[in-house]
Amino acid sequence: MCEQFVDRVNELRFLKNAYESERAELIIIYGRRRVGKTELARKSAEKKEHIYFFAEETLEEENLKNFRTLVAKYLRNDIVAKAELSWEEVFKLLKNENLVIIIDEFPNMIKENRGIVSKFQRIWDEILSASKIKLVLLGSSISVMESQVLGYRSPLYGRRTGQIYLKPLKFIHLKEFFSEKSLEEIVRIYGLTDGIPAYIREVQYRFKMGEKFEDVFMPNKPLFEEAEYLLRYEIRDPVRYAQILKAISMGYTKFGEIVNFTGFPNSTVSQYLNNLETLHIVEEEYPIGESRKRNARYKISDNYFRFYFRFIYPNKSLLLDGGRIPDFEKKYNQYLGSVFEDVAQQLLWELSKEGKLPFYVQEMGRWWKKGEEIDVVAINREERKALLVEAKWKELTPRDVQEIIEKLKNKTKPQGIRGYVLHYAVFAKKIKYKKRVRESCLAFDLKDFEG
């Protein structure tokens, strides 16, 4: 494959083991558009006999015809392409093969004919389950995949032998796309692209063409309208959903704040938030360490959506008219403060795995209560230990670090960690005289991960 392929080590290992099994396999791979499902599936099968089929948004008969053509080519039998064979009849021709069959964008077939899932249930039960065929179904419509393919009401329910919900790449993996850039610059890129490979490659290409950061999301380029396209792909009323996402991106993260910002009834906001959570676009957060689930806040799940509704959506008319976002650099730097909190959490997990924290971390999250916040709380329940961390998207002096640690010690502690042994740390963009700082406290910055 010509495109750079990064990470996905665990997913590839899982698929390799499945392909080498002695039984039939029905594997479901799903996740948001552009996250890399196709690349993963094709990479996993590149050394295996396989058929890759992309299901188009067209009539079922047309997709069946195209699939027959691929099967005819694999079997070296032109008659198969010309014969009026059903799905069941085509799969019968393959049942004795040791073969990986990848059907990409299976939801396109469901939209044309919801009965196709029942057909594939019969194909699996009556033809493939006793074979060595590895059938891999891919889908970008999360709502369709979770309800009509994976859901308990689906005819295929209980048949799958494995599934992968493919998440974005982690922050640290962006280094492999931008080896020439510092991690500080990569945080700026991550704040726009998140870990979506297609968006990362788009920015990578634009930079190679000499464009500046602010140029890569201008009109007529893929990142300018991608978020709204993704919403239209999943839901029927994208305008109201967009208002809710705008509210969250602007910092109105409590339910009441979202209601006040949008002017929508409570019931509407509640239903739309539930739908956005189902689509993995929004997630509901609770303060870590609290015994009761209350004081919820809502967070947009990936940085591209967050960026889009913070910067592009409110300024769309201005940008379409050739203008630029006023004070963009200042506003974007402020926005990166919350992005950096997420980056700090990811990097702290890495430090924990490497044994570089005072204890092995079992869970991690944010905490807040009545105006007080702690950016990161890392916990080991078994050892009754906790690490409280302040993440600062700025350059700090030793004095700054000491002041931050003292304020952290004086903050109210989450109920769930009272009686725990507490440790404190600062995570910053850059720390001056870091060796001296580390003589008295835990301190990390991006330089610790440059290697």
CB 282 within 8 A of CB 297: no
Find all residues with CB under 8 Å of 61, minimum gap 6, and list them.
none
The full set of domain ranges for the chain reads 9-165, 171-336, 338-449
Structure tokens belonging to residue 393? 């998207």
Residue among 309, 327, 339 nearest 187 (CA): 339
Q: How high does pLDDT run on average in the chain? A: 95
Question: Taking a C-beta distance cutoff of 8 angstroms, is the pair 419, 394 a contact?
Answer: no
pLDDT, residue 2, reads 44
Alpha-carbon dihedral 68, 70, 76, 80, rounded to 10 degrees:
10
Q: Are 228 and 235 in contact (CB under 8 A)?
A: no
Q: How many CB atoms lie within 10 A of CB 3?
A: 11
Residue 62 CA, chain-centre distance (Å), reads: 32
Q: 227 and 311 in contact (C-beta within 8 Å)?
A: no
Q: What angle do CA 362, 364, 370 make, to 5 degrees?
A: 140
**pLDDT value for 1:** 38
Supply the pLDDT for residue 426.
97
Q: Write out residues in the chain with pLDDT < 70, as ranges.
A: 1-4, 291
Angle between helices 266-278 and 255-262 (to 10 degrees): 110
- 100-104 β-sheet, strand order: 50-54, 100-104, 134-139, 25-30, 162-165
CA 148 to centroid of chain Cα atoms: 21
On whether the CB atoms of residues 5 and 115 are closer than 8 A, the answer is no
Q: Please state which CATH number belongs to domain 171-336.
A: 1.10.10.10
Integer Cα distance of 141 and 271 in angstroms: 19
Please give the CATH number for the structural domain made up of 338-449. Answer: 3.40.1350
Q: 3-state DSSP: the chain helix, strand, coil percent, rounded to 5?
A: 50, 15, 35
**CA-atom Rg of the chain in angstroms:** 25
- Please report the pLDDT score of residue 292 as a whole number: 72
Q: How many CB atoms lie within 10 A of CB 112?
A: 18
Residues 6+ apart with CB under 8 A from 256: none
Distance from chain centroid for Cα 28 = 17
Q: Which CATH number fits domain 9-165: 3.90.480.10, 3.40.50.300, 1.10.1740.10, 2.40.50.140?
A: 3.40.50.300
Helix (H, G, I), strand (E, B) or coil at 287: coil
d(CA 312, CA 303): 13
Task: Provide φ and ψ at 179, rounded to 5°.
Answer: -65, -25
Q: Which DSSP string do the residues of 395-443 spell out, in sequence order?
A: EE-HHHHHHHHHHHHHSPPPGGGTTSEEEEEEEEEEETTHHHHTTTSEE
Q: pTM of the predicted model, to two decimals?
A: 0.93
